[in-house]
Structure 1
Amino acid sequence: MLAPYACDPAASRGRFHPEEESAFRSAFQRDRDRIIHSSAFRRLMHKTQVFVVHEGDSFRTRLTHSIEVAQVARTIAGVLGLNGELTEAVALAHDLGHTPFGHTGEDALAAAMAPFGGFDHNAQAIRIVTGLERHYAEFDGLNLTWEALEGIAKHNGPVTGSLPYALADYNARHDLELDTHASAEAQVAALADDIAYNNHDLHDGLRAGLFTEDELAALPILDACFAEVDRAYPHLDAKRRRHEALRRFFGVMVENVIGSARAALEDAAPASAAEVRALGRPVVRFTDALWADLKQIRAFLFQRMYRAPSVMKVRAEVTRVVADLFPLYLHDPGLMPEKWREDVAAAADETELARIVADYIAGMTDRFAMQEHERLVGPASG
């Protein structure tokens, strides 16, 4: 049973291109399935989070991260009486627009695109699902429901001010009401993203040897998690101790979001999904106390992991890959594969051409981007 403030697929605002509904799948289930079967979703398997793909097979990729986010999101949505299929669709799609090399690649591409309208991975995800996926006979993109598109565009909150061109272009044709908060389902997907990366970045940083369990055990929240494990299992080996502590940390975050959201929904008492959007504030969030603790953990990760010397060395190398490839393709678009040349031929000016080049680079996997750079320029390291 859905809560009154949940998104009901039977009451969806529909798709940009009208379609006959399925006899056995809801509108939001079809959204989720189309995302899973998209080319962009498959490519996430070879796009990494913090570490580059060649550094080890045990680190998270954008694909495994997206699956983890979807699992957390669906769990929270079920407890809150929200639509699990829409929540899962937004969670699975939230990173479709990411470049190779994680946020480092995005920063490099945003710098290259600064004269041409900028680059933002959320906006790029909209560009992918509304145009760049070209498999269906009757339309470009995946033709997702309005609710799914809204969730992808603004799961992190209202999008105001100067819009990234990819989002502004689509919103001019199909108003996603960017100045409001998204549905509760999309808000859950956003918090599930925070939960997943807070947890798995600690896992990956430990695996990479960037810090120790003892250092984590001195941080807020984690101190209590490690202490609880040590009391219950005083002779546990280091690997299991680590896992048990981090799964408790994971549970603390999930339970906090559920408790906070329940209280916020009870207080606001929205009678519909539209009322959730109109509240002017999110209803799915961490408590202030937990958020303050998480900020300390994020500061630790920033210093010890994201800005670790070994990570910064790779960041410099992959920044060079993107920074070198962009002007090459811009000045000689014939270097791109033949299937891109129809778009190139239709480009009215350098700005449109730059956006096509950005689409091409953003869609690359880590390995392919490095291979292309070595082929066209030479090794990025050394």
Structure 2
Amino acid sequence: MMNWQKLLSPARLGSNHSSVGEFGRSNFHKDYDRIIFSSAFRRLQRKTQVHPLPENDNIHTRLTHSLEVSCVARSMGLMVGHRLAEKKHLPDHVEADHLAAISQAAALAHDIGNPPFGHAGEYAIRQWFAEADEKFLAPLSDAQRADLLTFEGNAQGFRLLTNKRTGLHDGGMRLTYATLASFIKYPWTAIDSPFPEKRKFGAFQQEAPMLAKVAEVTGLISRGTHCYARHPLVYLVEAADDICYALIDIEDGIELELVDFQVFENLIMPCIHDVPGEYHHEQSVPRKMNFLRGRIMTGLLAATSDAFIANEEQLLAGEMTGELLNHVDGPYNDMILRAKEFSEQQIILNRRKVQIEVGAFACIEVLLETFCRTALEIHQAHSESELSYRAARVRELIGRDDLPINGGLYDLYLSILDYISGMTDDFAARLTRDIGGSQGR
């Protein structure tokens, strides 16, 4: 069994300091601040949520989506925290609002590692390595190959949060172990995944030791080599994400006139039993959507928190099956499933969106073809004088320290993926045009 004493560790990765904090601002609250002030988080404002490169400023980006998910996770964490405190299940050093702060910080960062163009960017990276000439992967181990062939934004996010490049010291942002464990949705490496068919994992081979350290400090149950049971608060973060994108995708669809408001209303109404008369006389669609969203969120937060408390023993034993929303009573789970199904069929496959995603594949392919050829040349070189002019310029672009001469090929590829994943949609498109132009001269 896992226990809250270890699961809610206030100690920081890469630091010996383990104080909860003082004056009401705990280490968990500081985690949120460190993430939100980071340049990686700021760049999410120009990264795709669902609709790539939207011209309508009301449409969600990764940044606005992440902020909303963090709000929902905070509310559920607070509800759960108070319920656990009432049951005397929290350790002495933890207050109820600390669970809110941990959930909020983990949710804020949940998409921080995603490459440009949303999930299309992930698929494009995987496909390039799958179709690349054998010379690009031949020097790598099976585990390293798995990282690239099943590239995951979640693993890239854990790397970003913990990599020394994001801070002066070891541990990167030096977040608390509790927040990091709550962030890791898939606490295993690609080659050690218990669900290889899902192609989901939470840490590259290079970060496997840090994953093990997080698991050790927080007491995550081991399921094998570099494979662990989820931290219970992961389920709150996951539920907050599902709730937001299931509902907000449809709202964005309405804003873009891809979906009729009636669809949204028909989904939500079965879950609401106290609709005031004023609602039926209201003519403004935005005001009606705001009302429905507020009511459904209130019910969902309470029902999801109830499900968490009802399944606390299974969560601590690492035996929870499926997502937390699957265990929610009432019509909420069915509503979320129908909303996600509608989005996948009517919004995600919208023709304009598909056209841009096809372009995103071409964009990522150009970048990887250029940068990975350079990585192979750098790996084989013994001095800077051996590099071609083009490879030297690419090395200057990405960073000489990140692409050391005769560096390990796997490490060079990860540095390239750091660079590409950090790009906004706009920057990736502009750089691709520049590179494409130089290739044509």
State TM-score, norm by structure 2.
Answer: 0.73
Q: Is 1:167 equivalent to 2:209 in the alignment? A: no
Match of 1:340 in 2: 399
Q: Which has the larger radius of gyration?
A: 2
**One-letter identity of the residue aligned with 1:89:** A
1:87-141 CA distances to partner (integer Å, 9 max, x unpaired)?
11111111111111111112112222445432101110111011164332x3361
Match of 2:428 among 360, 365, 369: 369
Match of 2:40 in 1: 40
C-alpha contact (below 8 Å) 2:11/2:17 kept by paired residues:
no
Match of 2:317 among 263, 267, 278: 278
Structure 1 pair 157–367 and aligned structure 2 pair: CA distance change class (3 A): same
Of 223-232 and 29-38, deviating more is: 223-232
1:242-275 CA distances to partner (integer Å, 9 max, x unpaired)?
332333333343232123223223xx3x8xxxxx
Using the TM superposition, give the Cα deviation of residue 338 of structure 1 relative to its aligned residue in structure 2, in angstroms: 4.3
Structure-2 separation of matches of 1:298 and 1:10: 32
Structure-2 separation of matches of 1:234 and 1:202: 21
Structure 1 pair 195–91 and aligned structure 2 pair: CA distance change class (3 A): same
1:41-94 CA distances to partner (integer Å, 9 max, x unpaired)?
111121120112342211111111111111111111111115122111111111
C-alpha contact (below 8 Å) 1:195/1:254 kept by paired residues:
no
1:190-215 CA distances to partner (integer Å, 9 max, x unpaired)?
11111111121111111111110123
C-alpha contact (below 8 Å) 1:205/1:211 kept by paired residues:
yes
Using the TM superposition, give the Cα deviation of residue 353 of structure 1 relative to its aligned residue in structure 2, in angstroms: 2.4
Match of 1:73 in 2: 73
Structure-2 separation of matches of 1:230 and 1:311: 37
Structure-2 separation of matches of 1:355 and 1:165: 15
CA-atom RMSD in angstroms: 3.1
State TM-score, norm by structure 1.
Answer: 0.83
Match of 1:273 in 2: none
C-alpha contact (below 8 Å) 1:157/1:182 kept by paired residues:
no
Match of 1:189 in 2: 237
Matches within 5 A, 1:100-139: 100-114=116-130, 115=137, 116=145, 117-118=147-148, 119-131=151-163, 133-136=165-168, 138-139=169-170
SS in 1 for 2:248: helix
Structure 1 pair 205–165 and aligned structure 2 pair: CA distance change class (3 A): closer
**Structure 1: where are the runs of 5+ without partners?**
271-275
Structure 1 pair 228–315 and aligned structure 2 pair: CA distance change class (3 A): farther
Q: Is 1:203 equivalent to 2:251 in the alignment? A: yes
Structure-2 separation of matches of 1:307 and 1:106: 17
Number of aligned residues: 364
Match of 2:310 among 263, 282, 285: 263
**One-letter identity of the residue aligned with 2:41:** F
**Structure 2: where are the runs of 5+ without partners?**
82-95, 131-136, 138-144, 221-225, 375-390
C-alpha contact (below 8 Å) 1:12/1:145 kept by paired residues:
yes
Match of 1:16 in 2: 14
Structure-2 separation of matches of 1:285 and 1:212: 26
C-alpha contact (below 8 Å) 1:129/1:142 kept by paired residues:
yes
Using the TM superposition, give the Cα deviation of residue 336 of structure 1 relative to its aligned residue in structure 2, in angstroms: 5.4
C-alpha contact (below 8 Å) 1:261/1:285 kept by paired residues:
no
Match of 1:148 in 2: 179
Using the TM superposition, give the Cα deviation of residue 307 of structure 1 relative to its aligned residue in structure 2, in angstroms: 0.5
Structure-1 separation of matches of 2:427 and 2:244: 26
Percent sequence identity is: 26
Using the TM superposition, give the Cα deviation of residue 33 of structure 1 relative to its aligned residue in structure 2, in angstroms: 2.0
**One-letter identity of the residue aligned with 1:124:** Q
SS in 2 for 1:99: coil
Structure 1 pair 141–255 and aligned structure 2 pair: CA distance change class (3 A): same
Structure 1 pair 186–215 and aligned structure 2 pair: CA distance change class (3 A): closer
Structure-2 separation of matches of 1:20 and 1:153: 21
SS in 1 for 2:402: helix
Structure-1 separation of matches of 2:46 and 2:416: 20
Structure-1 separation of matches of 2:3 and 2:210: 27
Structure 1 pair 223–156 and aligned structure 2 pair: CA distance change class (3 A): farther
Q: Is 1:224 equivalent to 2:270 in the alignment? A: yes
Structure-1 separation of matches of 2:332 and 2:271: 14
Structure-1 separation of matches of 2:356 and 2:103: 34
Of 187-196 and 210-219, deviating more is: 210-219
Structure-2 separation of matches of 1:346 and 1:151: 37
